[in-house]
Structure 1
Amino acid sequence: MAVQPEGTPCWADAMFSDFQGAKNFYGDVLGWTFGEATSEYGNYKQAYADGKAVAAVVPPMPGQEGQSAWCLYLASPDAAATARNIRDNGGEVLMEPMQVGDFGTMALARDPSGAVFGVWQAGTHEGFEATAVPGAYCWAEVFTREPEKSDAFFPAVFPYRAKRIEDEAIDFIVFELDGGPVLGRMKMTEDFPPEVPSYVNVYFTVENCDAAVERATKNGAVLRFGPMDSPFGRFAALTDPQGADFSVIDVTTTQGRMPDMSEVS
């Protein structure tokens, strides 16, 4: 797979205190298999769907134990320049650009509304080897209580065009690259407990949404929303046993017409 255009979601990983528990959970729910851990890089272990690298899990470093969360990485041709743009536009760089061997350069950041995301400048590791197939990443949305901050920030840092979904029931923006959707932005409603901060919700593809939810809840996950039909697929939102939020979606089971969208000036 070629290096992705700037701003494209290109990788996802998460840190788990119960490393083996995470492997067992996602192995059962998403069908992942795992490569060998590399102690040189903190026992970082890649997950595979049908032999293709689709994500990674890693145990916490000493002192970093806490609630787990999935981190979405956005592609950058120059992580240092992207870090400067993040600061210049009101974001916070949580981890300065750091070279990871010959794999690439990573950084961690927070948008002005509080959503954490990663930046990845590819080296030999270019990112997802597969997307939108069972077990692989499919989509992501920035869930935020302050949408105006995220709406100004992301198109200033990345070459996005923003379009608003014309639906009075939700406040939703789609960020596009080269005319194609790459990232969503959803305003958090009162349905979200006040202690839940802004975050990036990652969707993984499954063959059958209801079956995946059943496997997840049997393995200790909490169902937050759904399963629900949509024009994009049948999906559900979950929290895994270690507190990491994620969603599953069956993109082959769709219902309803695609929503109208308008350009955001």
Structure 2
Amino acid sequence: MTHRPETIDGAPCWADLITSDREGAQRFYGGLLDWSFDAPNPRFGGYANVRFRGQSVGGVMPIVPGLDMRVGWNVHLQSSDLEATARRVVAAGGKVVLERHPVGTLGFMMGVVDPTGAYVGMWEPGEHRGAEWIGAPGGMCWHELYTRDGARADAFFRAVFDYEQTKVENDKGVDYARYGRAGRPLCGRLQMTAAWGEVPPHWLVYFAVPELAAALAKLPSLGGRLIHGPFETPMGPSAMVVDPQGAVFALMQVTGSHA
């Protein structure tokens, strides 16, 4: 099942992996999620699209020596006007750490750190509209902000993207909010507790799988490992895992679309 790219400002539209071992990443994600990888593009520092059944699901970028790059998954939020978004970011107490700049004819990108310290990318579409395969096994299906100051994060993203924010009640005392626009849920926000230790604020991307137990069973032979879960969510069973190079992401069992 394919889904049209999300067209709402503030919606997560893309994710890319920064890795220290591109070939190792191909083996791991190819084995776990049945992904294929385009050839590296020298115009963009070796960046390459990742695909599921020919449809784009995200990107992969090798660490460039001399640049401050860390292994991990980056989430990108859509903006139809990055210049206006940048003004709202600064006014709301955030920082633009990577200025708006063109990526060929594909679009414009920008990097932002919110007032609680979490980095997130921003994307103004050109020819590249975002992921083509979402909400179904093999693609992104959910995204979350992990922060130590939920109220401050809520205020910031409400000012930047006018998110509709709903606190999600639960019996575990977890401070969780769902962000949405136009009546559509787009992503979530979880307040980290002392149990998270020194883990910095960050965004987490979830990838859909048809059967969580089967996916987790593959991890050891592929060099990955389970770090939290499995746990139940309203959208399906999930687990947090890490790839062989240290990039953290989540898996969620879905059978249809949650986009």
> For the superposition of Structure 1 and Structure 2, which TM-score range results when normalised by the shorter chain?
over 0.9
1:99 is matched by which residue type in structure 2?
P
Residue 229 of structure 1 aligns to which amino acid in structure 2? E
Query: What is residue 183 of structure 2 aligned with on the other side?
Result: 179
Whole-Å separation in 2 of the counterparts to 1:220 and 1:184: 29
| Corresponding position of 1:79 | 82
Higher relative contact order, structure no. (Cα contacts within 8 Å, ≥ 6 residues apart): 2
Tell me by how many angstroms 1:232 deviates.
1.0
1:49/1:134 contact within 8 Å kept: no
* 1:112 alignment counterpart: 115
Alignment counterpart, residue 197 of structure 1, candidates 165, 187, 200: 200
The runs of at least 4 consecutive aligned structure 1 residues that moved more than 4 Å come to: none
1:19 CA drift (Å): 1.3
Q: Percent identity over the alignment?
A: 38
Q: Match for 1:89: what amino acid?
A: A
Please give the alpha-carbon distance, in whole angstroms, between the structure 2 residues aligned to 1:80 and 1:62.
30
How many angstroms apart in 2 are the aligned matches of 1:215 and 1:114? 34
Among 157, 161, 170, the alignment partner of 2:164 is 161
Q: 1:220 and 2:223 equivalent?
A: yes
Unaligned runs of 5+ in 2: none
User: 1:183 is aligned with what amino acid?
Assistant: C
Structure 2 length-normalised TM: 0.93
Q: Given residue 175 of structure 2, which amino acid in structure 1 is its aligned partner?
A: D
Contact 1:133 1:206 in 2 (8 A): yes
1:2–1:12 Cα change, 3 Å = closer
Aligned-residue offset at 1:82: 1.0
Alignment RMSD: 1.6
Partner of 1:212: helix, strand, or coil? helix
- Superposed CA deviations along residues 28-62 of structure 1, whole A, max 9, x for unmatched, are 11110011221001111101011110011011222
Q: Which amino acid aligns with 1:189?
A: T
Other structure's SS at 1:117 match: strand
Tell me which residue corresponds to 1:188.
192
Q: For the residues of structure 1 that align with 2:236 and 2:48, how far apart are their CA atoms?
A: 29
The Cα of 1:65 is off from its aligned counterpart by 6.2
Alpha-carbon distance in structure 2 between the residues aligned to 1:2 and 1:221: 29
Matched, 1:243 2:246: yes
TM-score (norm: length of structure 1):
0.91
